[in-house]
Structure 1
């Protein structure tokens, strides 16, 4: 039988407990507002939607913070290869850069629609499961983890090349083992990266991760300084070089591959209705950063632009040393647990072996971009959206999704074939 006194006590106890938990993270002003809302609540059901919306919108990432986090994810080592894409593909590469940015921004919008279609969808594997069941989740998870492993290989190659540019004369001889500076510094960089696995403090990890945007801005400023003070902007090139378009496509796919983190960024927003706005701003900033380095770097070094612009920089210039030291800052560090340390150290060790076997920074980036990144950033978001929301989607959404899928598949096939052919030729 229903007893009002018992119900009243239940409400009072629940309200007190709720306020006690909320007081741990909310300010006094917000506590007063929340307390008034709870006091007006009647009934034994769930909290009113208005209250939950207020709590959600008050706390979380703003649009500015979301843009910063997203740019930090996407703008990384890919910026170093921007001048080389123009050297390989011609000035048409700038048009391809903008095209990829627009397509990837739209697929981020498609992912947002997938999140909003079902409350249970909160991660990228969730999207795969909602679209294609457990096998969809498994396939996407494999692609994501393979991408992370490939990133480690890229970073080891990057560090070995750049540190050896700073200190090229070092060589190691121990017994019958001889090692040049590139291989030694690659191993040293991998060891340092491995030590970050021992860090358990999430705040330290977040501070290390935040250096990504700072590093990119520093590289941009160093390139500008070199162009205006040391080298000058005097080079030029042809509008189109068809033989290098496939390479450029792979690199651009790599540059805009932040979709595996977008679910976390979306969930962290205070007002998720502004996710699309944040993505538009983010991709516009990425195009600006990538495009600026591409144009300035190519105007400085022209057809001689290497896979990493830092390798073109005059070794005696101060800006060169600053840029080289900047790219050594950790740009992405994953959270870790002691139970996984052995496995992760083994993965780092194996990534060293792969980096030594395939020491082609630009070609490996193009291969990753052509296969893994185009899959995660373009093809999978589009087909999963069609699978999940196809019946509710507009004609425009369906047409754009199908077009992106077709164009991206062609780019993936062409880019993969070109990258693999070039790697085999250089082995």
Structure 2
């Protein structure tokens, strides 16, 4: 997999653009509509499950922050487009880092992206464990004489099932399957509405207007949902008419914000302060709508996990001497990565806290700070005092505060729950 395609998958939700951008560009470019679908898939992922929880942390007023985060990320997406317009040879996000700050810039951007992908793979395993335990409570497993209970057993089982998919050399089939990310988000919303409307739970919770203490966690979770920036350069390069990319960004951000906002409002009205980190964990298991919602949630990680870790494995494999690039070594590397994500998922099985950490530490860097810094470095005109510079400095300052506070709080929460 060559370099510019490798990074197509590097986003929060991660994934499918590989097959499209590589194949379609050879036939003259991707259409506006198909690029919009790819962009939506990049912004529609597991983050939707935590939208009600995010609002429960910050209160109803935090929905304003959702709009602000979406607007900032849309604007920084435009900044990346301007960087690419100025340097036509740029193919990927790390390329932008290299043009702006040299080799070190490329390395820093790549490290943040790889770490984000790695932790998203961990999130997939935690997600599977939580939801399978919801469907099959009090389940025990016996492996090699050891009794493993509940969630830990499901996480282990999921890793074992996913492992062979990571050995595939070609991920084309998996990439096409994962296009269902957009559809899965819509099915999930419909199912949650059905549970509330048809199955008697209703939409009676009033909730809080604002909870100042929980706002940093809320913003971190929102930031996680909009970190599709690693995908944007390759999406733009794949288009037939690259001048239309700003419209693609507009369509993708408006649509995904409506989707996220809808789930946030519906879930919070249904469960209020009692909503779990994943809204599916609140749903009554015996209802058909719940089963559809959970099974839809469960399918996605199985189809996306291998695609998510591929850029990481490719980067490792590229550094190996030719002598060690045989098939057994490739399988060994991918197995080690799967096992390491399994251990992290077992040690830190806190879906929302890990998501908040990714959002605050990695997503804010990739979708707020890096685009602004690269744009300022590459565009001398932007360094002159004016409205644009004020906006960019405002984003950099706010992003830095969110990164520091959000990362600190999420780490404290993780440590606290580990001790418990």
Show the 5 A alignment for 1:160-179: 160-174=129-143, 177-179=146-148
Q: Does structure 1 residue 409 correspond to structure 2 residue 400?
A: yes
Given candidates 25, 30, 40, the residue that maps to 1:61 is 30
Show the 5 A alignment for 1:332-371: 332=304, 333-334=306-307, 338=327, 340-371=330-361
Q: Find runs of 4+ consecutive structure 1 residues off by over 6 angstroms.
A: 55-58
Given candidates 55, 65, 69, the residue that maps to 1:86 is 55
Tell me what 1:221 maps to.
Answer: 190
Offset from partner CA, 1:88-127 (integer Å, 9 cap, x none): 1101221111110000000000000111111221111111
Q: CA deviation at 1:283?
A: 0.4
Offset from partner CA, 1:49-88 (integer Å, 9 cap, x none): xxxxxx9898222221111111111111100001011111
Q: How many residue pairs were aligned?
A: 373
Q: Does structure 1 residue 291 correspond to structure 2 residue 261?
A: yes
TM-score normalized by the length of structure 1: 0.84
Q: Which runs of 5+ in 2 are unaligned?
A: 1-23, 315-326
**Gap change, CA 1:173 and 1:197, over 3 Å in 2:** closer
**In terms of mean alpha carbon deviation, does 59-68 or 141-150 score higher?**
59-68
Given candidates 109, 112, 121, the residue that maps to 1:152 is 121
Q: Does the 8 Å contact 1:374/1:412 carry over to 2?
A: yes
Q: Does the 8 Å contact 1:211/1:329 carry over to 2?
A: no
Instruction: Give the root-mean-square deviation of aligned CA atoms.
Output: 1.9
Q: Does structure 1 residue 139 correspond to structure 2 residue 129?
A: no
- Separation (CA, whole Å) in 2 of partners of 1:206 and 1:174: 32
Structure ID, larger Rg: 1
- Separation (CA, whole Å) in 2 of partners of 1:237 and 1:399: 36
Given candidates 272, 276, 280, the residue that maps to 2:246 is 276
Q: Does structure 1 residue 233 correspond to structure 2 residue 223?
A: no
Q: Does structure 1 residue 100 correspond to structure 2 residue 69?
A: yes
Q: CA deviation at 1:202?
A: 4.3
Tell me what 2:8 maps to.
Answer: none
Q: Secondary structure at the match of 1:257?
A: coil
Given candidates 382, 387, 390, the residue that maps to 1:396 is 387
Q: Does structure 1 residue 378 correspond to structure 2 residue 368?
A: yes
Q: Secondary structure at the match of 1:330?
A: helix
- Separation (CA, whole Å) in 1 of partners of 2:72 and 2:169: 37
Q: Secondary structure at the match of 2:300?
A: coil
**Gap change, CA 1:266 and 1:393, over 3 Å in 2:** farther
**Gap change, CA 1:270 and 1:396, over 3 Å in 2:** farther
- Separation (CA, whole Å) in 2 of partners of 1:145 and 1:120: 23
